[in-house]
Amino acid sequence: MLEQAAENVKLGLERDSEVYRGFTQLQFFILTVDFDMRVMLRALLADPQNRLTAEKFLALTLEEAEESAGRMVNAVSKAMRTLPNDTGIHLFDITKFDEAVRAFKQAMSEMRDDKEFNKTLRLIRNTVSGHIVGDEVGVQNSAIWVLTRKGVPRDIDGVLRSQIVYYAIATLKALSEFAQGLQRTLRA
């Protein structure tokens, strides 16, 4: 499915349709994040000793799922509404697209509305290697994150009680349903 979505992105780049291009990129992004999160969760469950690192990258992916998906959805939605002469607009049912977006936003609302978790998510994001190179604040945040994880069990029970894992599973469900909803927006 991911390879087909990549082929669709390639086709989107070759077409002169902003709607089609944006839609295929959104669909590919959703499937990629879903795939990446599943791989990370499996790795974490297979080896809970690596919890510190695995949770950092899960957190980064969670944040990306929320922020980037929102930007991409808005771009596709805007194109669908403002480009009535777009050569690809006839391929999509805008009402079904709106329904899929509403359902996705609703499914993501618990995580989005959890202020404390989002504060932690930003702290974790800033500890991921790419964010700390040469950055004193990033190194300090990383040290804080490691120290807060000192007493957290690095076994399967600890992993299953992790708030990051909880929201990752909820996000996977939301992404899966959104991918299906996006598929339903395509006209036969």
> Residues 131-143: pLDDT tens digits?
555 556 566 666 6
* Residue-wise DSSP of the chain: -HHHHHHHHHHHHHSS-HHHHHHHHHHHHHHHHHHHHHHHHHHHHH-GGGHHHHHHHHHHHHHHHHHHHHHHHHHHHHHHHH-TT-TTGGGB-HHHHHHHHHHHHHHHHHHHH-HHHHHHHHHHHTTSHHHHTT-HHHHHHHHHHHHHTTTS--SHHHHHT-HHHHHHHHHHHHHHHHHHHHHHHB--
pLDDT at 184: 96
pLDDT in tens, 38-68: 999 998 888 887 777 788 888 888 988 888 9
**What are 73-129's pLDDT values in tens digits?**
999 999 999 998 999 999 999 999 999 999 999 999 999 999 999 988 887 777 665
Q: State the pLDDT at residue 131.
A: 54
* pTM of this structure: 0.83
Domain residue ranges of the chain, discontinuous segments joined by + = 2-185
**Statement: residue 130 has pLDDT above 90:** no
